[in-house]
Amino acid sequence: MFSYFKKVSKIGYLVALVSLLIRTGFFMTLPFLAIYLTRDGILTPGQIGIVVGISGLFLSITSLFNGMYVDRRSQRNVLVISLILSGFFYFGLAISIKLFFVLLCVNAILGWLRSLTDMSAISIMVANTPKEQLSYTYNLRFMAINLGLVFGPLIGAVLANHQSLLIFYIAGLIHILVGISLLFFSKNQLKQAPRENSTNFLQDFKILRKDKILMNLTLINFLMWVAYSQLESTIPQHITHIIENPAILVGKLMATNAIICVLFQAVILHWAERTSLKISGVIGSLLFSATFILIAFHPTPLTLIAAAGMLSLGELFTLPINGLLAIRIAPKHLVASYSGLINFGFLGASVGSVIGGYGLQYLGSKYLFLGMALLLLLVLWRYLVAVPD
């Protein structure tokens, strides 16, 4: 186990630490935003789905352009600026909590800034990591994100249970402090990815479009995120209506998800690399589908926690593998662009939040979650026909 961490580059540890801090801030706010708005009756379920989903919408639709932009600029400067601006917009969430259209705009801008942050961090990680160490460094970053998913919801659950908006100010402060701390690293310490000034945006886009593996991974990501988004939007709303103390249970679900990801991620990814990415995707799709069937027919606190565990395992068999494969096949000067197109699949998260919100309102939880289970069988089919052995 210790030899595993020795294979991670120094900059890989820095990127992982940054990811841990900013994901802690993110996960202590977004899941509980739905609870705040539902509990106080501020918005309808459909409106809540739009507010929660708008962040993922702007993250996804700006990711490709942001990736191409980052490939041509100083990734360090973009990362610093996007982090500091994100901090102030988290403050804006607390201030505009009862204003639907203002809340919508603030969360949309946060999605755009989050895209810039991710593209910059990934580019810095790849540029400063030898190719043979890339999978280990990528794994560590993903572990750090999931640790943020442990700490964030636990902090958020305690504060949200006391009806406090303090979590939004804490999240904003985390982003600002992380951004300022990166100013102490020089450009020589954070090596930049090589630039190809001879190509323009249109030429780069043609390269992306012709990569069939990349396009199929983007479609798979889209469908996966439609289903996965229910954990952050629809399931918290559903729990609010059936459980007396929803904030605590949502915190437990998020923590279960993250703990399992941290414990099993390295083992699963190592197994997938040595055997078959296609089989890994099929297993993950089946676990996702079984999760929603369980929630549809027996939504008790115990089964919801078990479902969160199954969802976590399904996530490990699919989502990190897609991202790692994308940056492996990317030309060095287009790493952010390739990652941006993969993140375009995150459009499914915002679409899923809206579908989930209105599905919960008009169809009910049972039929909504069964529909998600069927959707994941479609994902299974795409893995079978589109992902090479």
Question: Distance between CA atoms of 339 and 118, rounded to whole angstroms?
Answer: 9
The CATH classification of domain 2-386, taken from the options 1.20.1250.20, 3.20.20.330, 1.10.600.10, 3.40.50.2000: 1.20.1250.20
Coil vs helix vs strand at 164? coil
Those residues with Cβ within 8 angstroms of residue 248's Cβ, 6 or more apart along the chain or in another chain: 157, 161
- Indicate if the pLDDT at residue 355 is higher than 90: no
pLDDT at 198: 52
pLDDT digits (tens, 9 = 90+) for 170-218: 889 989 998 998 888 766 666 666 665 556 777 777 888 888 888 888 8
Q: List, for residues 272-314, the tens digit of each pLDDT value.
A: 777 777 888 889 999 999 988 888 887 787 888 888 888 888 8
Q: Which residue has the higher pLDDT, 31 or 155?
A: 155
The span from the CA of 3 to the CA of 126, in Å, is 20
pLDDT at 87: 92
- Asked if 168 and 93 count as a contact pair (C-beta separation under 8 A), the reply is yes
Sign of the C-alpha dihedral computed for residues 232, 354, 325 and 340 taken in this order: negative
Measured distance between the N- and C-terminal CA atoms of the chain, rounded to whole angstroms:
27
On whether the CB atoms of residues 160 and 248 are closer than 8 A, the answer is no
What is the value of pTM for the model shown? 0.77
Residue spans per domain, the chain? 2-386
CA angle 138, 142, 147 (to 5 degrees): 145
Q: Which of 32, 38, 46, 44 is nearest to 357 (CA)?
A: 46
Residue 2: Cβ-neighbour burial (10 angstroms; 0-12, 13-18, 19+): exposed
| Winning range, highest mean pLDDT, from 80-84, 117-121, 226-230 | 80-84
Residue 371 has pLDDT above 70, yes or no: yes
Q: How confident is the model at residue 360 (pLDDT cuts 50, 70, 90)?
A: confident
Contacts of residue 50, defined as CB under 8 A and 6 or more positions apart, other chains included, come to: 104, 353, 354, 357
- Tokens 């629809």 belong to 234
| Mean pLDDT rounded to a whole number for the chain | 81
pLDDT at 356 exceeding the cut of 90: no
* pLDDT score at 191: 66
The answer on pLDDT for 1 being more than 60 is no
Q: Could you count the other beta carbons within 10 Å of the beta carbon of residue 84?
A: 19
Angstrom distance (rounded) from CA 377 to CA 368: 15
Which residue, among 123, 130, 116, 118, has the nearest Cα to 192 in the 3D structure? 123
pLDDT of the residue at 234: 79
Band of pLDDT at residue 84, cut at 50, 70 and 90 = very high
| Burial degree of 95 (CB within 10 A; 0-12, 13-18, 19+) | middle
User: What is the spatial distance between Cα 148 and Cα 144, in angstroms, rounded to a whole number?
Assistant: 6
pLDDT of residue 187: 67
Report whether pLDDT(358) > 90.
Answer: no
